[in-house]
Amino acid sequence: MSASIIDGKRIAKELREEIAGRVASFRGEHSIQPKLVAILVGEDPASQVYIRNKQRACEQAGLASSLIRLPDSVSQSELLGQIEDLNQAPDVHGILVQLPLPEGISADLVLRAIRPEKDVDCFHPENVGMLAIGTPRFLPCTPAGVVELLKRSGVETRGAHVVICGRSNIVGKPLALMMMQKGDGGDATVSVCHSRSRNLEELTRQADILVAAVGREGFITGSMIRPGATVIDVGTNRSANGKLVGDVVFEEAVEIAGAITPVPGGVGPMTVTLLLENTLRGARRTVR
Ligand code: GUN
């Protein structure tokens, strides 16, 4: 039997159209165009692609966006100065500093410098704390994209055992918080596995919903999946032949899983879409 494919591209398009509609009503009502400013430090090729995708998505949804490009050689204090200017700018509703940052710049310090009300990535400790106690200001983009994919594909999370492989601050940890939370898209029993977990296969085979967020090609093989499980692949790895691949061995998984996200075309388009949602949310705050 072959798994059904969860089409992230189609679902993201549907959600972007909804967001574009809400952006248009907001602009009509308040004469404010929500605006995202991204900061890109250095020339990392993957980051350049991500930033381009984010800007194009903003444009298509009716949001304003601009990009500040800084050289690798920029000092931490110059970067912090730029962020402070954006913190103060009344027409800027979302600030995003693309990661990774060059050596010599502390990502921790930089992310803490972003005003929490404009922190559309939801990386600031204040926003992470608010998420943890169930009163989120923003939802982090990739985890929120995963939850939205599950909802819109009709995958029940309530009471389900969700096994997340990966404990990063960007995906694993916040996704675990969201999925254990009460309510729609949550109410799951969540296990988080990582590189030190014993008997990994025994754990992953318990999953009704298995999330791979490790960042290693070929990490999840067919034997690690319970027949019929839903498999969400958050990995974005460059294969030796230059192709974009996930963490899951797709050809094996598709024969065993009940439903699966492809890479590309699964979680990736959702991440960008949720950034649009957060920028609109940032703008709404200014009119309340
Ligand atoms: N680099 C990789 N993923 C992300 C993300 O979600 N946000 C930012 N700012 N940088 C990233």
Domain 32-117 listed as CATH 3.40.50.10860? yes
How many Å apart are CA 104 and CA 210, to the nearest integer?
Answer: 36
- Locate the domains of the chain by residue range: 32-117, 141-268
Domains 32-117 and 141-268 share a fold: yes
Tokens describing residue 227: 């027949």
* Beta-carbon count within 10 A of 191 CB: 16
Tokens 């050809």 -> residue:
251
How many Å apart are CA 134 and CA 178, to the nearest integer?
Answer: 8
Nearest protein Cα to ligand 1, atom 9: 98
Q: Is 278 in the pocket of ligand 1 (CB under 6 A)?
A: no
Fold of 141-268: Rossmann fold (3.40.50)
User: What is the amino acid identity at position 214?
Assistant: V
pLDDT > 80? residue 67: yes
**Can you give the pLDDT at residue 288?**
82
What ipTM, to 2 d.p.?
0.93
How many Å apart are CA 63 and CA 57, to the nearest integer?
Answer: 8
Annotated active-site residue in 98, 119, 208, 247: 98
Evaluate whether 89 touches 116 at the Cβ level (below 8 Å). no
Q: What is the dihedral of CA 21, 22, 23, 28, to 10 degrees?
A: 90
Among the listed residues 147, 150, 41, 146, the one whose alpha carbon sits nearest the alpha carbon of residue 96: 41
Nearest protein Cα to ligand 1, atom 4: 99
Burial string for 129-165 (b: 16+ CB within 10 Å, else e) reads ebbeeeebbbbbbbbbbbbbbbebbebebeebbbbbb
Write out pLDDT tens, residues 74-113.
999 999 999 999 999 999 999 999 999 999 999 999 999 9
* Beta-carbon count within 10 A of 24 CB: 12
Tokens 């922190």 -> residue:
119
Evaluate whether 216 touches 223 at the Cβ level (below 8 Å). no
Nearest protein Cα to ligand 1, atom 8: 98
Active site residue 173: no
Active site residue 55: no
Write out pLDDT tens, residues 165-212.
999 999 999 999 999 999 999 999 999 999 899 999 999 999 999 999
Most ligand 1 atoms within 8 A of CB, residue of 49, 99, 114, 138 to mutate? 99
How many Å apart are CA 131 and CA 34, to the nearest integer?
Answer: 23
Active site residue 98: yes
Among the listed residues 150, 169, 168, 131, the one whose alpha carbon sits nearest the alpha carbon of residue 208: 150
| Overall pTM surpassing 0.80 (yes/no) | yes
Annotated active-site residue in 7, 121, 208, 247: 121
Evaluate whether 218 touches 246 at the Cβ level (below 8 Å). no
Q: Is 28 annotated as a binding residue?
A: no
